[in-house]
A = this chain, B = another copy of it.
Amino acid sequence: MGVTERRAREKEELHDRILKAASALFAEDGYASVSLRKIAERIEYAPSTIYLYFKDKDEIVTSICRQNFLLLTEALDSILVRDLPPLEMLRACLRSYIQFGLDYPDHYVVTLCLPEPAPRSDRDVHDNLSVLDVGLSAFNRLAGGLLGCMQAGVIRKADVELTAQTTWMMIHGITSLLVTKSSFPFLDRNRLIEHYLDRVLLSLGAAIVPQDPDEKIL
């Protein structure tokens, strides 16, 4: 009994170590230079060993994406459980999303910035769907927050799906650029983010007055 348990635990451990190594490689060298070889070297196993845990390279990437979306979902959930006024909660969610990208830039890139790989086999279709499923659960948190605001009357009533999609697009805009174009001479990051959030909420019809501490009009 104990043996079986230990085996299972060890198996899972290695599974995780592979993912962590791959993730770290993303962070260090970027997506393009992640290879099974390097992953193997990093965990000090033979390259072929990885195939005992993952069917192929895509499955590793897919796994990382899934894991990553879960992290995001959790981050959003930790906000949703708090007892905040709807608009503040929405703003906190959006801010949290941005922060998530800043915290895990390479994961964010892998998951949300890179183009989808052209699906070749049936498996790919299936995997993409399952990644999408996890992704959607994060997306739904956002939609929920928006719905709450509409019902509370603090933002304009509108098609929820449409609003959710466009809000996601907006929030992705700042996140992806901050993450991928770090050498662009962006203004002060916090100022930028808060102003951006103001604008997003304004675009939802929220009755807020945009305030920029460093405002230099014109």
CB within 8 Å of B: which residues of A? 29-32, 105-106, 109, 112-118, 128, 132, 135, 147, 150-151, 156-162, 165-166, 168-174, 176-177, 179-187, 191-192, 195-196, 198-200, 202-205, 210, 212, 214-218
Asked whether, in the complex, the Cβ of B115 is within 8 Å of the Cβ of A158, the reply is no
Look across to chain B and name the residue whose beta carbon is closest to the beta carbon of A110: B115
Asked whether, in the complex, the Cβ of A210 is within 8 Å of the Cβ of B30, the reply is no
* Most chain B CB neighbours (cut-off 10 Å) among A151, A171, A180, A204: A180
Asked whether, in the complex, the Cβ of A132 is within 8 Å of the Cβ of B217, the reply is no
Contacts of A184 in B (CB 8 A): 132, 135
Candidates B106, B162, B212; contact of A192 at CB < 8 Å: B162
Contacts of A150 in B (CB 8 A): 218
Contacts of A106 in B (CB 8 A): 115
Given A113-B176, A176-B176, A180-B113, A215:B169 Cβ within 8 A: no
Q: How far is the CB of A167 from chain B (nearest CB, A)?
A: 8
* Most chain B CB neighbours (cut-off 10 Å) among A117, A166, A182: A166
**A to B CB contacts below 8 Å, 7 in the list:** A114-B180, A116-B180, A147-B218, A166-B192, A171-B173, A173-B176, A198-B203
Q: How far is the CB of A136 from chain B (nearest CB, A)?
A: 9
Look across to chain B and name the residue whose beta carbon is closest to the beta carbon of A215: B159
Given A113-B113, A180-B114, A180-B115, A169:B173 Cβ within 8 A: yes
Contacts of A192 in B (CB 8 A): 162, 165-166
Q: How far is the CB of A182 from chain B (nearest CB, A)?
A: 7
Asked whether, in the complex, the Cβ of B210 is within 8 Å of the Cβ of A158, the reply is yes
Contacts of A151 in B (CB 8 A): 218
Look across to chain B and name the residue whose beta carbon is closest to the beta carbon of A197: B166
Asked whether, in the complex, the Cβ of A187 is within 8 Å of the Cβ of B170, the reply is no
Other A-B contacts than A161-B187, A169-B177, 4 sampled, CB-CB below 8 A, are A30-B118, A114-B180, A132-B185, A166-B174
Q: How far is the CB of A81 from chain B (nearest CB, A)?
A: 24
